[in-house]
């Protein structure tokens, strides 16, 4: 089977990391997989799997309009190449796939969508929520099949996107390789040095969705004198968050180390994991925390968060945008002793090796339902707006022109 998927860049991102790992598994299983890459740069480029990458030369930096640029890149690719299925690796890519269906109504391959974020979006202003719900129904009408990352997320997808339950599969998000699960699970609980406070950890991109301003305020209100907080990740809000940290008098208590490749060291040094997001799906970092046996204090950022935290056995879930509630949960999590073995068993369901075959089954189901729908693609020597070129930027990467 020929499978294509769009990915913006090699910048850190849980959804993109999972997508590339899945693509590598599908390729290893004998399928022809192509990654349409918006930008062939990013700090994770050196660790990206060896795949067939297609990219277009940027006329100028496209970071600020990456979604529109991805539409152009994917349209160029689909104009030239014939594939059997298109994988949409997360909610941020659904608009790209919808535009492909509208541009190429008869040629666009069937689309399998991974619903990577909560669909309620309480962060949106009230006037925008009806428009967002309408947009979700448009996606449900134009795209083919959907993947929920946990069983509690499926009813939300069916209801808000107005799709049949039969078109939604539940596949636990493959956030970990089996070897990573084993390594995180091998972290010893250990005893904190005498007099050391609680070490809180959060990992994620420094963007509005993660609401790290809430976390800083929660920590400021609830901390003990010797407590520390690490927020690992990169993003556009770093300067603003550093300024808020300093304004709250936390300069020597909160660290922003940027992107950290040695995630095991992060979890080994932490006592409690914290998520402050306004909306999520099933966060890969929360799965890592489960595997490492860290209790979790989190906002109710998705329909699956209570289930993920074992309905109180592995952590505490509080309302979004409430710093007092989050701070109280952080304090309580610092004094509990959850069943680490049960946490690791919960995390084991989210391994790549378990999920990759389930995705291939969905592609097969989708392809069978869509056979005969597409017209022929243009021959590779076609020209015009969506013409392409190739340039090797790494052994497995080619550039479209």
Can you give the pLDDT at residue 14?
82
Tens-place pLDDT, residues 350-397: 999 999 999 999 999 998 886 644 433 333 333 333 334 343 444 455
Burial of 116 (0-12, 13-18, 19+ CB in 10 A): buried
User: Which of 168, 57, 15 minimizes the C-alpha distance to 393?
Assistant: 57
Tens-place pLDDT, residues 298-345: 999 999 999 999 999 999 999 999 999 999 999 999 999 999 999 999
Same domain, 34 and 119: yes
Domain that holds residue 330: 178-348
Can you give the pLDDT at residue 379?
36
Same domain, 207 and 149: no
Residues contacting residue 311 through CB under 8 Å, at least 6 positions apart: none
Residues contacting residue 124 through CB under 8 Å, at least 6 positions apart: 132
Residues contacting residue 159 through CB under 8 Å, at least 6 positions apart: none
Could you say which of 348, 369, 392 is where a domain stops?
348
Give the integer Cα–Cα distance in Å for 271 and 340: 13
Can you give the pLDDT at residue 43?
84
Residues contacting residue 292 through CB under 8 Å, at least 6 positions apart: 184, 185, 187, 264, 267, 268, 270
Can you give the pLDDT at residue 378?
36
Same domain, 88 and 100: yes
Same domain, 30 and 146: yes
Give the integer Cα–Cα distance in Å for 2 and 82: 8
Same domain, 53 and 129: yes
Intervals of the chain under pLDDT 70: 190-195, 370-401
Burial of 87 (0-12, 13-18, 19+ CB in 10 A): buried
Can you give the pLDDT at residue 264?
93
Could you say which of 332, 348, 364 is where a domain stops?
348
DSSP one-letter code for 150: S
Same domain, 293 and 391: no
Same domain, 339 and 356: no
Q: How many domains does the chain fold into?
A: 2
SS3 112: strand
Give the integer Cα–Cα distance in Å for 222 and 275: 15
Cβ–Cβ < 8 Å for 77, 2: no
Could you say which of 324, 348, 372 is where a domain stops?
348
Instruction: Return phi, psi of residue 231, to 5°.
Output: -115, 100
pTM: 0.84
Same domain, 60 and 168: yes
Can you give the pLDDT at residue 193?
59
Cβ–Cβ < 8 Å for 167, 188: no
In sequence order, which ranges of 293-381 are alpha helices (DSSP H)? Answer: 305-308, 323-333, 340-348, 352-370
Same domain, 188 and 164: no
Give the integer Cα–Cα distance in Å for 346 and 298: 17
What CATH number does residue 368 fall under? 3.40.50.2000
DSSP one-letter code for 208: G
Same domain, 204 and 154: no
* Residue labelled with tokens 């993109």: 16
Q: Where are the beta strands (DSSP E) in 216-350?
A: 228-232, 254-258, 272-275, 296-299, 315-318
Same domain, 61 and 96: yes
């Amino acid at each position: 089977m020929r499978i294509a998927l769009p990915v913006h860049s090699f910048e850190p991102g849980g959804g993109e990391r999972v997508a590339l790992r899945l693509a590598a598994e599908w390729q290893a299983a004998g399928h022809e997989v192509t990654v349409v890459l918006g930008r062939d740069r990013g700090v994770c480029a050196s660790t990206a799997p060896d795949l067939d990458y297609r990219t277009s030369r940027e006329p100028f930096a496209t970071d600020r309009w990456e979604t529109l640029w991805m539409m152009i890149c994917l349209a160029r690719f689909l104009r030239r190449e014939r594939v059997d299925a298109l994988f949409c690796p997360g909610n941020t890519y659904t608009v790209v796939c919808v535009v492909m269906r509208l541009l190429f109504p008869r040629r666009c391959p069937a689309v399998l969508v991974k619903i990577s974020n909560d669909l309620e979006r309480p962060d949106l202003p009230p006037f925008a929520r009806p428009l967002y719900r309408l947009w979700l129904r448009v996606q449900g009408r134009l795209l083919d099949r959907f993947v929920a990352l946990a069983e509690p997320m499926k009813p939300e997808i069916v209801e808000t996107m107005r799709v049949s339950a039969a078109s939604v599969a539940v596949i636990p998000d493959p956030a970990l390789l089996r070897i990573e699960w084993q390594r995180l699970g091998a972290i010893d609980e250990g005893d904190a040095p005498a007099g050391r406070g609680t070490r809180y950890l959060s990992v994620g991109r420094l963007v509005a969705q993660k609401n790290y301003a809430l976390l800083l305020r929660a920590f400021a209100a609830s901390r003990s004198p010797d407590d520390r907080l690490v927020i690992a990740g990169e993003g556009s809000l770093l300067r603003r968050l550093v300024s808020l940290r300093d304004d709250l008098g936390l300069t020597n208590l909160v660290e922003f180390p940027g992107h950290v490749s040695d995630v095991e060291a992060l979890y080994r040094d932490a006592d409690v994991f914290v998520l402050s997001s306004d909306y999520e799906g099933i966060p890969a970092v929360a799965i890592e925390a489960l595997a490492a046996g860290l209790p979790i204090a989190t906002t109710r950022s998705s329909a699956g968060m209570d289930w993920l935290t074992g309905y109180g056995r592995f952590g505490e879930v509080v309302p979004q945008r409430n710093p007092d509630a989050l701070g109280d949960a952080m304090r309580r999590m610092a004094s509990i002793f959850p069943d680490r073995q049960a946490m690791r068993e919960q995390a084991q369901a989210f391994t790549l090796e378990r999920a990759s075959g389930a995705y291939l089954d969905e592609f097969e189901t989708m392809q069978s339902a869509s056979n005969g729908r597409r017209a022929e693609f243009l021959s590779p020597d076609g020209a015009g707006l969506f013409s392409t070129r190739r340039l090797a930027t790494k052994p497995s990467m080619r550039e479209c022109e």
